[in-house]
């Protein structure tokens, strides 16, 4: 069985992606939780993850770190995690790569905190541009999938797991997209794996003051 090393569900967006993917698809795994910002956090992480960061997937003697690499590894072993259509699959990989390396204004200004609600007015042009680009991605991908299903490419895929942290950020900070993108956000927040994660994040006893101040 796989072991997935993660940090706090309430705060760790990178941990969230493979956790949601494996949970949504029913891929069995053992969860190893290492809380952030504890005196022994770095020592525990370095003992398990080559990068000293989360997430890290352990499969026998193999360790796979980095969330996108983990998702790709799982996709090779479990069919159906990427869209079946080659063109859709290429676009799905592109939007995941864009999320993996971009949207720095959103990440820096809208810290992950599933439990909190802190609606804000967007005034920073860089943040507004990030939000607009995400809405455009959601609209474009949902238009491609059409009636095939409610997710970005019809059925739930790695792309949806990759944009799930944005859904939580939009919920926390009161971002309400219009049209198809808004429908997608509402549907994602009702998806079983996201509901499970929300409940578990709410039950975590750890609190990180820096993140809770938002």
Given a cut of 90, is residue 214 above it in pLDDT? Answer: no
DSSP helix/strand/coil, 34: coil
Instruction: Let me know if residue 203 belongs to a domain.
Output: no
Reading the block at residue 162, the tokens are: 């990759």
Residue 42 binned pLDDT confidence (cut-offs 50, 70, 90): confident
Same domain, yes or no: 47 and 136:
no
The residue among 59, 79, 99 that closes a domain is 79
Both 53 and 102 in one domain: the answer is: no
By the 8 A CB rule, do 164 and 194 touch?
yes
Could you say which of 35, 51, 79 is where a domain stops?
Answer: 79
Q: If you average pLDDT over residues 143-154, what whole number do you get? A: 84
Q: Look at residue 208 and tell me whether its pLDDT is greater than 90.
A: no
Asked which of 18, 45, 79 is the last residue of a domain, the reply is 79
Pairing of strands 29-33, 2-6: parallel
Q: Is residue 146 part of a domain?
A: yes
Q: 101 with 175, same domain?
A: yes
**Nearby residues of 141 by Cβ (< 8 Å), 6 or more positions away:** 91, 92, 95, 152, 153, 159
Does 36 fall in a domain? yes
SS3 of 12, please? coil
Ranges of H-type helices in 52-173: 67-77, 86-101, 104-109, 125-145, 158-173
Angle at 67 between CA 41 and CA 59, to 5 degrees: 80
> Are 32 and 112 found together in one domain?
no
CATH number at residue 119: 1.20.1050.10
What is the domain count for the chain? 2
Tell me if 69 sits within 8 A of 53, measured CB to CB: no
Look at residue 110 and tell me whether its pLDDT is greater than 90.
yes
Domain of residue 57: give its range: 2-79
The answer on 74 and 27 residing in a single domain is yes
DSSP assignment string, 165-205 = HHHHHHHHHT----HHHHHHHHHHTTSHHHHHHHHHHHH--
- Helix axis angle for 192-203 and 13-24, nearest 10°, is 130
Q: What does the alpha-carbon distance between residue 155 and residue 177 come to, in Å, rounded to a whole number?
A: 21
Residue 212 has pLDDT above 90, yes or no: no
Q: Please indicate, yes or no, if residue 24 is contained in any of the structural domains.
A: yes
pTM: 0.94
Whether 71 is in a domain gets the answer yes
HSE-CB at 192 with a 13 A cutoff on CA atoms is 7
Percent pLDDT > 90 in the chain is 83
**Same-domain pairing of 91 and 187:** yes
Closest CA to 184 of 125, 213, 142, 129: 142
Q: Decide if 125 is inside a domain.
A: yes
201 in any annotated domain:
no
Cα separation, 68 vs 74, in Å, equals 10
Residue 25 Cα to chain centre, angstroms = 15
């Amino acid at each position: 069985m796989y072991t997935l090393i993660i940090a706090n569900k309430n705060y760790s967006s990178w941990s969230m992606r493979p956790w949601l993917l494996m949970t949504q698809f029913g891929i069995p795994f053992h969860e190893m939780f290492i809380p952030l910002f504890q005196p022994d956090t770095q020592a525990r992480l370095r003992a398990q993850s080559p990068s000293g960061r989360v997430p890290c997937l352990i499969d026998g003697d193999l360790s796979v770190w980095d969330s996108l690499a983990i998702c790709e590894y799982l996709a090779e072993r479990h069919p159906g995690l990427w869209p079946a259509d080659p063109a859709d699959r290429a676009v799905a990989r592109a939007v995941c790569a864009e999320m993996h390396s971009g949207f720095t204004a959103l990440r820096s200004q809208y810290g992950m905190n599933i439990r909190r609600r802190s609606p804000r007015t967007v005034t920073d042009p860089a943040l507004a541009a990030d939000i607009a680009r995400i809405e455009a991605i959601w609209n474009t991908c949902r238009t491609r999938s059409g009636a095939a299903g409610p997710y970005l490419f019809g059925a739930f895929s790695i792309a949806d797991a990759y944009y799930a942290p944005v859904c939580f950020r939009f919920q926390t900070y009161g971002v309400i997209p219009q049209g198809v993108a808004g429908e997608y956000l509402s549907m994602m927040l009702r998806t079983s794996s996201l509901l499970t994660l929300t409940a578990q994040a709410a039950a975590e006893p750890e609190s990180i003051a820096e993140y809770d101040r938002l």
